[in-house]
């Protein structure tokens, strides 16, 4: 088998039928361009949602869960008896994490942990005129919060240092501030569920770009919340942990759950809806891309088949003059590969262009998400995958017609 002649013949065949070659190529091009746009966009959405979820929520959160589903005393003592306990109330207990600050210090010393922020959070009402607006106050050490969530970059107005220097200060979420009609410098009265009240001064407004956070949360100093709910300075309700690698959060969370008798929640559990959406989009992308490539493959198959039928006389002559079955397969396979490869390259270019246009197209998601344009992920991997898919599809689509060409009996054709 001599690949150089096979290549020359294949090249001549392609160049003499430029139109047909172009049509076959465009089939691949379209399939791959769409594949790239689809996968870039879908992965862009996935990444965007995951990033905003990961950014705004702790990788691992430790808190005390107050539940009422504890077994009644009589059931523990007399498990086999006929016990009827109706409407058992939860035990009165505090939502505190005992020794929270010590635990935080211990966790912070682990090498895979980026930072720990102990918090006291409580439900409050913001009183605006006579209307109480519900929300959450998170009592934090703002510098730790900065380390975990890069809070300073999310400030719409004011600075985080202002909170540190003002013991009555509060940083409000953007949507909450708008709802309450508050700006930096304004004062707001809050009432806790236990009845305590405090007058807070707005020192800043932040936005995470996530509605559920921006609409309800306010950051204050830890001591202020402890004072508001009349608890001591060691009263901690939540530990927020950020890992250096988010993927480490799941095993690390399991380890913490064994270590401490508190509820440990990792980001994957907290954001199950986002991860489920990601899975569905993944399957959708795969199905649509696969369909596109199969359609392109059938296009090439048809054209190659036609090509073989048109060239049946030439194949007979080549065979008569000493070209073997393998040479004939090589001639037609090379044509398929060239069509596939050029089509794939063109597809990559068009796919990139379309993705780029999509990525600069304005997109208004309202208050739900902070986003200006469609999220598109540019990753070399998808382009390589596209080319690979394209070439493999054309190889398969070209193989069967080539095989048929190799089986042509020259005697039948030459005798006429």
Partner 1 sequence: MREAGNAHKLIDFKLMDSQKTAVLKATNINKYFTEPVRFQVLKDISFEVQKGEFLSIIGKSGCGKSTLLYILSTMDTSYDGTLEVNGQPLTGRSQDQLATFRNEHLGFVFQFHFLLPEFSVLQNVMLPGLKLGKFPTREVEERAYQKLRLVDMHEHALKPSSKLSGGQQQRVAIARALINEPTIIMGDEPTGNLDKANSEMVFDIFREISRTNGQTIITVTHDPDFAAGGDRIIEMSDGKIISHGYEAKI
List contacts with partner 1 (CB under 8 A): 2, 4-5, 9, 12-13, 16, 313-314, 316-327, 410-411, 414-416
**Which residue lies nearer to partner 1 by CB, 45 or 331?**
331
Burial environment of residue 239 by CB neighbours within 10 A (0 to 12, 13 to 18, 19 or more): buried
**Which residue lies nearer to partner 1 by CB, 366 or 416?**
416
The Cα–Cα gap between 25 and 193 comes to 69
Distance of closest approach, residue 403 Cβ to partner 1, in angstroms:
14
Distance of closest approach, residue 408 Cβ to partner 1, in angstroms:
11
The Cα–Cα gap between 196 and 121 comes to 14
**Which residue lies nearer to partner 1 by CB, 12 or 99?**
12
Tell me if 55 sits within 8 A of 345, measured CB to CB: no
Q: Name the phi and psi angles at 325, rounded to 5.
A: -55, -40
Tell me if 44 sits within 8 A of 376, measured CB to CB: yes
The Cα–Cα gap between 38 and 286 comes to 9
| Cα dihedral 395/399/402/403 (nearest 10) | 160
Distance of closest approach, residue 14 Cβ to partner 1, in angstroms:
10
Instruction: With CA atoms as reference, report the closest residue to 49 among 206, 174, 208.
Output: 208
**Which residue lies nearer to partner 1 by CB, 49 or 329?**
329
**Which residue lies nearer to partner 1 by CB, 14 or 107?**
14
The Cα–Cα gap between 95 and 354 comes to 52
Distance of closest approach, residue 323 Cβ to partner 1, in angstroms:
6
Instruction: Enumerate residues 6+ apart whose C-beta is below 8 A from 331.
Output: 6, 9, 10, 13, 318, 402, 405
Distance of closest approach, residue 17 Cβ to partner 1, in angstroms:
9
Instruction: Enumerate residues 6+ apart whose C-beta is below 8 A from 362.
Output: 372, 373
Distance of closest approach, residue 5 Cβ to partner 1, in angstroms:
5
**Which residue lies nearer to partner 1 by CB, 287 or 414?**
414
Distance of closest approach, residue 346 Cβ to partner 1, in angstroms:
24
Q: Name the phi and psi angles at 36, rounded to 5.
A: -65, -45
Q: Which residues of 23-38 are buried (b: 16+ CB within 10 A; e: fewer)?
A: ebbbbbbbbbbbbbbb
Distance of closest approach, residue 373 Cβ to partner 1, in angstroms:
49
**Which residue lies nearer to partner 1 by CB, 13 or 231?**
13
Distance of closest approach, residue 319 Cβ to partner 1, in angstroms:
6
Distance of closest approach, residue 343 Cβ to partner 1, in angstroms:
22
The DSSP code sequence of 45-76 is HHHHHHHHHHHHS-SEEEE----S-PPPHHHH
The Cα–Cα gap between 164 and 158 comes to 12
Tell me if 393 sits within 8 A of 300, measured CB to CB: yes
**Which residue lies nearer to partner 1 by CB, 16 or 68?**
16
The maximal CA–CA distance of the chain, rounded, in angstroms, is 106
**Which residue lies nearer to partner 1 by CB, 272 or 310?**
310
Tell me if 215 sits within 8 A of 133, measured CB to CB: no
**Which residue lies nearer to partner 1 by CB, 46 or 336?**
336
**Which residue lies nearer to partner 1 by CB, 303 or 350?**
303
Instruction: Enumerate residues 6+ apart whose C-beta is below 8 A from 299.
Output: 23, 24, 27, 28, 397
């Amino acid at each position: 088998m001599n690949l150089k002649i096979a290549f020359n013949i294949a090249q001549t065949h392609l160049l003499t039928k430029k139109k047909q070659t172009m049509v076959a190529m465009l089939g691949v091009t379209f399939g791959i361009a769409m594949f790239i746009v689809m996968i870039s966009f879908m992965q862009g959405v996935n990444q965007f949602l995951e990033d905003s979820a990961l950014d705004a929520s702790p990788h691992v959160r430790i808190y005390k869960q107050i539940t009422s589903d504890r077994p009644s005393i009589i059931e523990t003592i007399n498990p086999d008896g006929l016990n009827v306990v109706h409407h058992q109330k939860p035990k009165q207990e505090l939502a505190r994490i005992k020794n929270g600050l010590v635990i935080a210090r211990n966790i912070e010393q682990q090498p895979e942990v980026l930072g720990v922020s102990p918090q006291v959070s409580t439900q409050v009402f913001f009183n605006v005129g006579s209307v109480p607006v519900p929300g959450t106050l998170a009592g934090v050490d703002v510098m730790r919060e900065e380390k975990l969530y890069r809070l300073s970059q999310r400030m719409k107005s004011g600075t985080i240092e202002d909170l540190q220097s003002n013991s009555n200060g509060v940083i409000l979420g953007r949507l909450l501030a708008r709802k309450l009609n508050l700006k930096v410098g304004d004062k707001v009265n809050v009432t806790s569920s236990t009845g305590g009240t405090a007058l807070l001064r707005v020192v800043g407004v932040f936005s995470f770009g996530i509605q559920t956070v921006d609409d309800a949360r306010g950051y204050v100093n830890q001591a202020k919340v402890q004072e508001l709910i009349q608890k001591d300075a060691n009263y901690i309700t939540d530990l927020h942990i950020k890992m250096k690698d988010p993927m480490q959060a799941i095993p690390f969370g399991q380890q913490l759950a064994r270590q401490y008798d508190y509820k440990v929640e990792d980001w994957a559990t907290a954001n199950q809806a986002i991860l489920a959406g990601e899975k569905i989009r993944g399957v959708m992308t795969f199905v649509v891309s696969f369909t596109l490539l199969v359609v392109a493959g059938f296009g090439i198959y048809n054209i190659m088949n036609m090509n073989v039928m048109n060239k049946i006389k030439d194949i007979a002559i080549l065979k008569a003059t000493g070209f073997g079955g393998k040479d004939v397969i090589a001639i037609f396979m090379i044509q398929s590969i060239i069509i596939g490869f050029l089509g794939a390259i063109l597809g990559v270019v068009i796919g990139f262009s379309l993705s780029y246009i999509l990525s600069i197209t304005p997109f208004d998601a309202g208050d739900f998400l902070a986003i200006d344009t469609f999220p598109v992920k540019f990753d070399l991997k998808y382009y390589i995958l596209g080319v690979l898919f394209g070439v493999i599809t054309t190889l398969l689509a070209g193989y069967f017609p080539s095989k048929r060409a190799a089986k042509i009996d020259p005697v039948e054709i030459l005798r006429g």
